[in-house]
Amino acid sequence: MKQYITLDPWKIIEDSFNPEHHQITESLMSIGNGRMGQRANNPETYNGDTLKGNYIAGVYYPDKTRVGWWKNGYPEYFAKVLNSLDWVKKEVRIDDQLIDLSTSAITSYKRWLDMQEGILYRDIALQLESGKSVNIHTERFYSIADQDRCFIKYSIKAVDHEINVTITDHLDFNVRNSDSNYDEDFWEDRSQGFQNQYGYISAKTKKTDFLVAASFDSQLIIDDKAIESTKDLSTGEVSHRFNFSLQPNQTAEHVKSVAICSSFYYDKSEVLDKAINQVKDPIHDYSSHKQKHILAWAKRWQSCDIKIAGDVSAQQGIRFNIFQLYQTYSGEDSRLNIGPKGFTGEKYGGSTYWDTEAYCLPFYMSTGSQEIAKNLLIYRHNHLAKAIDNATLLGFEKGAALYPMVTINGEECHNEWEITFEEIHRNGAIAFAIYNYIRYTGDQDYLISHGLDVLIGIARFWAQRVHRSPSTGLYVMMGVTGPNEYENNVDNNWYTNYIARWCLQYTRECIDKIRKNTSDKWTLLKANNSIEETELDRWADIISQLYLPKDEETGLFIQHDGYLDKEDLTVEDLREKDRPINQNWSWDRILRSPFIKQADVLQGLYFFEDHFTKEQIKTNFDYYEPKTVHESSLSPCVHSILASSLGLKDKAYEMYLRTARLDLDNYNNDTEDGCHITSMAGTWMSIVEGFAGMRVRDGRLSFAPVIVDSWDSYSFKINFRGKLLELSVDKARCSINNHSDQPIETAIFDKVLVVEAQEQVSFALQG
């Protein structure tokens, strides 16, 4: 695997400037604070390959969708997270030479993202055309202490000769998405100006009418003396220009303080004033803002860090994934969700997929407050009416709900028919997340206040999506795409059928519980949802008679009807030049092949592990894993967790590294598009649910830890129902430390025990 960065437990380090993979490291060193973020674009002019990207949470555009066929229910647009203003842009001239990193002579280059501090640093040395040498140091961050604020410090040092320098420092709103259809410009009504020394700029989106405004203060200091600037304005751009000279060994320090505000958070009438007033605030200088930001990250790491001793590659991987997750989504706002690329790129456009419920929810439940996970579920409840509208467009009735495959505002905006209409298992992941949240938190009130409304809508969809087969008398589900997107329009996908049956069963169980224990609330829910006994009886009939394809002789759960008729090949039969097949094969060839993009049957075995014996799980793992190409970022973690539970430590570790370093090592040759944010939670799951064997059973956490041969130890903390536990595992022992002020009942290796407040228990490691 090609190395793009240096191994380090806390840093992502680029030791030299490599234009051929510049966009990859732009993705890897992206920074953000949950409210906004950007790719790691160099601030100076760069005329090489680059994807300049700055993104603001909640601000989107309904871009035109290109299809030659239009079907009833087809989405009218493809939502785009918008490239917003470029606030780091600088034009730097030294002795009249424009510094362009694609052509300038770079004698040394080091860039590093310090994940512990949340700051992107860079040191470069240049040799000018005149032969003079110059050193440049930069550091920048999006503050997680003040979420409208971002900062960059830019220092130039003359090494051996006097130099004359001009720095023009910009806010530039002349931006465009790299993937906009028809080269459309999404921003309009740009305006710019100055209030005293504070430059400002604003623009609004077409159609969606979001207003974004930014203001900046730009100061340049040489030997404690401030250098005056010239103010410049042009369409969509505002800038400060500094002209100065430096003597050998003299340094100029340029600090830019920026506030970016949007109408997603503020009333339109106050957006611009909010931005200007925040920059005007003289209370904190750059150093104090930086320190507040570092301390905020330190507090965050206290609860979410996973420590691995003895394996720097594994350690770097897990911290990178945790860092990107928490700088993408912080959980305060139920209107927001987690985009598959976060603030690192534009691919996938929409705000949320089923990745959130299946992968991200467990991470945020365990590393943050209960409210963070609850907000992710409330997001779906808020969009229930649109999910019902979506199903109605497709011909469903009586409140059936089909949640979108891709959405920003609750409307479907995915533009591939085999996904939009057929990949309906996403409904099941949302229902499972409700169950998973209640199981983990014990928050039964959520079921009544929000959860059951969603469950009923989803159950009604499944009940109408199946029909009774005339030949077998069993209920079947035709024309679907399972999690394995390398199979379209198949019949009776085992995972989809299984999770549909489970959804119906779980919804009935919830209804029965509420009917039995809180009759007054049941009466209200029944009336609000127009529930009839005949409907519940039909659900029961489907539950008992839904077809699940299975090979009775081998015990194999068949991925879908006809799958066993495919050519019996495994990944080992592929040539190196074929990989990844989604970039080297025709779609026709992929669809006819037996190769699996991501966990499909195994996704169901992961979700519903307790429904199956170890022998059943092993039979299906041994058959399907060798056929899986893992060309979805969501795939390796499920295989790692299942492999751990089966005692296959080498396979579990192989799959862990693949999920942990998917972007860092560019496994699927697509990191330049941005990082795979939502699947990063799977890296955390691979350790916590995989190697540590964490499960929630009978209302308590249980653990069955193992340790990888190459690791000396690992440890992590878990928030569970208001209590904070720490699990530590080394070669010989594992221990549970209760950091809470109350005792907690837990289980380890199936032995139930009580860990008293502020105490630790320890066990010999089994196996």
Q: How far apart are CA 44 and CA 46, in angstroms?
A: 6
Query: What number of helices (H) and strands (E) belong to the chain?
Result: 22, 32
**Strands across the sheet containing 744-748:** 695-697, 700-703, 744-748, 751-755
CA dihedral 418, 422, 423, 424 (to 10 degrees): 160
Residue reference for tokens 């209030």: 195
CA distances from 699 to 318, 441, 491, 720, 725 (A): 28, 9, 37, 10, 15
Residues contacting 685, CB < 8 A, separation 6+: 359, 362, 363, 637, 641
What is the CA angle 657-662-665, rounded to 5?
90
- Beta strand 90-94 with 97-98: parallel, antiparallel or unpaired? antiparallel
Can you tell me whether residue 455 is helix, strand or coil? Answer: helix
Q: How far apart are CA 307 and CA 161, in angstroms?
A: 47
Q: How far apart are CA 638 and CA 634, in angstroms?
A: 8
Residue reference for tokens 């190409």: 629
Instruction: Residue 746: name the closest of 703, 709, 707, 686 by CA.
Output: 703
Residue type, 273: D
Tokens of 697: 């059973």
Please name the helix (run of DSSP H) or strand (run of DSSP E) that holds residue 31, with its range, or none.
strand 31-32
Per-position b or e across 575-591, b if 16+ CB within 10 A of its CB: eeeebbbbeebeeeebe
Task: Kindly report the length of the chain.
Answer: 767
Instruction: Residue 765: name the closest of 709, 710, 706 by CA.
Output: 706
Can you tell me whether residue 428 is helix, strand or coil? Answer: helix
- For every residue of 276-292, DSSP letters joined together read HHHHH--S--HHHHHHH
Of 485, 631, 672, 689, the active-site residue reads: 485
The Cβ-side half-sphere exposure at 142, using a 13 Å CA radius, reads 24
Q: How far apart are CA 265 and CA 281, in angstroms?
A: 20
Q: How far apart are CA 320 and CA 112, in angstroms?
A: 12
CA dihedral 307, 309, 313, 316 (to 10 degrees): 30
Q: Is 731 left (phi over 0), alpha (psi -120 to 50) or beta?
A: alpha
CA distances from 113 to 39, 110, 283, 351 (A): 12, 10, 27, 25
Can you tell me whether residue 134 is helix, strand or coil? Answer: strand
Residue type, 727: L
Q: How far apart are CA 331 and CA 372, in angstroms?
A: 4
- For every residue of 173-196, DSSP letters joined together read -----TT-GGG---EEEEEEEEET
Tokens of 599: 């966990």
Q: How far, rounded to the nearest angstrom, does the alpha carbon of residue 38 sit from its chain's CA centroid? A: 14
Q: For this structure, is 129 an active site residue?
A: no
User: Are the C-beta atoms of 28 and 113 separated by less than 8 Å?
Assistant: yes
Q: How far apart are CA 623 and CA 328, in angstroms?
A: 36
List the catalytic residues.
485
